[in-house]
Amino acid sequence: MTDTIFWRRLDLPGHETGKLSPRDGGWELSGTAQFTYERHPCKLDYLVIADSGWRTTSAQVAGAVGDREIDLGVSVDSERRWFLNGVECAVVAGCIDIDLGFSPSTNLLPIRRLSLAVGERAEVRAAWLPFPSFTFELLQQVYRRVGKSTYRYESGDGTFVRMIEVNVVGFVTSYPDLWKTEG
């Protein structure tokens, strides 16, 4: 099963393509985001590898934010220790999911891993790579499945809440004020 998606950014001029493919008994989530930020062009390619249980095992982000080159390698060991370009990031130790702060693609990982029934909710501790700092932070998240394809997502102790829509694969199709699928 390989699935692709195309998003339009709603908060900034830009688009993103995403792709989910099986890989060595696990999953490969990849894509390219192109947008403007503070009048500077940005292009970021990403690759996230997850095991068969949808747990992040590695990731790469490469590209540019204006004149700033981005080249990040993320690895996660069996004890759930996270490393960014070879340096351990204790602040996100124990996290299962990566959250790329510039993309809706990584919401797919906890959505697929949790496989919530309608009415169920789960708390997630994500290894968040916020844009534009690209420095790991711990992000507490709550996913509540409120319908067949609708989730109530919250982070920041409830200061950020969105009702997101997903397709059958788990890709976000509507993320109010931020992303919407096209095509």
Q: Does the structure show a pLDDT above 80 at 92?
A: yes
Task: Output the pLDDT for position 8.
Answer: 98
Res. 183 pLDDT band, cuts 50 70 90: confident
Distance, CA of 126 to CA of 114 (rounded, Å): 13
Give percent of the chain with pLDDT exceeding 70: 99
pLDDT tens digits, 138-173: 999 999 999 999 999 999 999 999 999 999 999 999
Is it the case that residue 1 has pLDDT exceeding 70? Answer: no
Indicate the residue type of 18.
G
Average pLDDT over residues 112-120: 98
Tens-place pLDDT, residues 30-82:
999 999 999 999 999 999 999 999 999 999 999 999 999 999 999 999 999 99
What is the maximal distance between C-alpha atoms in the chain?
Answer: 46
Sign of the C-alpha dihedral computed for residues 126, 132, 134 and 137 taken in this order: negative
State residue 113 phi and psi, 5-degree precision: -65, -40
Strand ranges in the chain using DSSP code E only, listed in sequence order = 3-9, 14-23, 26-37, 40-50, 56-65, 68-76, 82-84, 87-88, 97-100, 121-129, 137-145, 150-155, 160-166, 172-175, 179-181
Looking at the predicted structure, is the pLDDT value of residue 109 above 70? yes
